Amino acid sequence: MSTENEGTAVPAAPSAPPVPVAAPGPASDSTGTHATGTHPADPGPEPAPPAQPAHTPTTQGGAQGPATEAQPGYMPVAQPHSAPPSPPQGAGAGWPPPPPAHPYGGGGHGGGSGGPAWGAPVPPGPRGKRSGGLVAAVLAAALVAGGVGGGIGYWAAERNDSSVDSTTVSAPGTTKDFKRDAGTVAAVAAKALPSVVTIEAQGGDGEGGTGTGFVYDKQGHIVTNNHVVASAADGGDLSVTFSNGKKYDAEVVGRAEGYDVAVLKLKSAPAGLAPLPLGDSEKVTVGDSTIAIGAPFGLSNTVTTGIISAKNRPVASGDGQNSKASYMSALQTDASINPGNSGGPLLDASGAVIGINSAIQSAGTGGFGQSQAGSIGLGFAIPVNQAKTVAKQLIKTGKPVYPVIGATVSMDPKSDGGAVIADRGTGGTEAVPSDSPAGRAGLKAGDVITKLDDRVIDSGPTLISEIWTHKPGDKVTLTYEREGKTSTAEVTLGQREGDDS
């Protein structure tokens, strides 16, 4: 270690030589220097100096004073790699002087004023050398600190390993014993999943697809969408698979193309079927939590969540088989619904069915349907109150019954201001037969219907969607415009049976 106090400035030469500290060595060397700094006669050749000791004395003997004062105990040591001093003026053959007899050195050599007086500071070596000494000292300190830190860390780890097996914290109990509170998504899904099925439909022409359904009653009836089973309705194959992997053949009991509802029945229904409870879609409000279960893109038993984002959303969608469309005043949800979810249940927070997932808004086409586009957060479900009425009709007669007003309206969804009654009906018939519910209420061709009860009507599809939320025989109030004048009429809904009439 350098005696230059770890890289600090070397003190200037004192005005008078300080008294040196006695140097270790043979007794004969102890008188080699004098307090006055004079030099004795040349003693002649001296033995070679011993090797530089590993550690040289430092200035720790006393407090450092001002730069102009002598430092007691300061003992300069010759720099091992410094350039040799220049010969003094007038030096003879005796230059350079022989080295001191011991590392702590005696006085100067060579007489005169050529050699440095004993106790004078050693001229500083090149600055690079001091920097190297400082770096070496810092590196040594770092290595020592690292060794100490590593030793402490190893000791602490050994103590920890001996006291505990792991630093992780385990939750009390086991996953098997963990019970989820009623009303949580996990609890609702666990209870509902055994009653939800994946439907595979295969038509005679090879066309088919996958959808979802749910257990409607203990007799083995399954409710789903019509478009899920339409390809296999006439001579095709139908099968349903439960969440436990058990698979059963099924057959179509009845279909309602306009409502997009179908009922299947298991050919060999297992014992212990658990029908899903049916809720009340009229009591649903915007912001209520929703849970959708289905097989999006064939991924069975998929559970997604969201909320009711709107009610009474008029939706018209095709079944993919022909030009006939279905109409619904739908529940809108942002729960993720994709192709394959169709026919599956939309549940409320208690696990009751509030709707049948049926259609999505497609970003690619901008329309409603069951295309292969993915969810964009706009899914639509048939309200369960309507689906329940249709299912009962299909189980009882195999045919759907539709409420009607008995007037032909324009189906242009972009019509402004309401549903316009057409000039002529299908096949050139009257748009408003005199014996129809609308005819008896006084409606005529060209009238624009703007309200059904308190529901605003903006197009023909919206009017049909609202009418189909009722039953035949219900009384409704229609608000309409004729030649700039607004009027109302009370209409008793009639009925139409089946999809072919």
Catalytic, out of 109, 195, 260, 410: 260
Q: From residue 73, how far is each of 60, 104, 193, 252 by CA, in Å?
A: 8, 12, 92, 112
Q: Is the dihedral of CA 161, 164, 165, 170 positive or negative?
A: negative
217 catalytic residue (yes or no)? no
342 catalytic residue (yes or no)? yes
User: Phi, psi (5° rounding) for residue 189?
Assistant: -65, -40
The terminus-to-terminus CA distance of the chain in angstroms comes to 109
Q: For 64-122, where are the E strands, in sequence order?
A: none
113 catalytic residue (yes or no)? no
- Rounded-to-integer distance, Cα 197 and Cα 246, Å: 10
Yes or no: say if 290 and 347 are a contact pair by the CB < 8 Å rule: yes
Catalytic, out of 2, 227, 231, 281: 227
Taking every pair of C-alpha atoms in the chain, what is the biggest distance, in angstroms? 152
Name the residue type at position 38: T
- As given in the structure block, the two tokens for residue 181 are 């509170």
User: What distance lies between CA 253 and its chain's CA centroid?
Assistant: 44
Catalytic, out of 195, 300, 342, 410: 342
- As given in the structure block, the two tokens for residue 20 are 């040196």
> What is the DSSP annotation of 398-457?
SS-EEEE-S--B---TT-SSSEEBPSB-GGG-BSS-TTSHHHHTT--TT-EEEEETTEE-
Report the candidate in 299, 294, 306 with the shortest Cα–Cα distance to residue 344. 294
Neighbouring C-beta atoms of residue 472, cutoff 10 Å: 15
Positions marked catalytic? 227, 260, 342
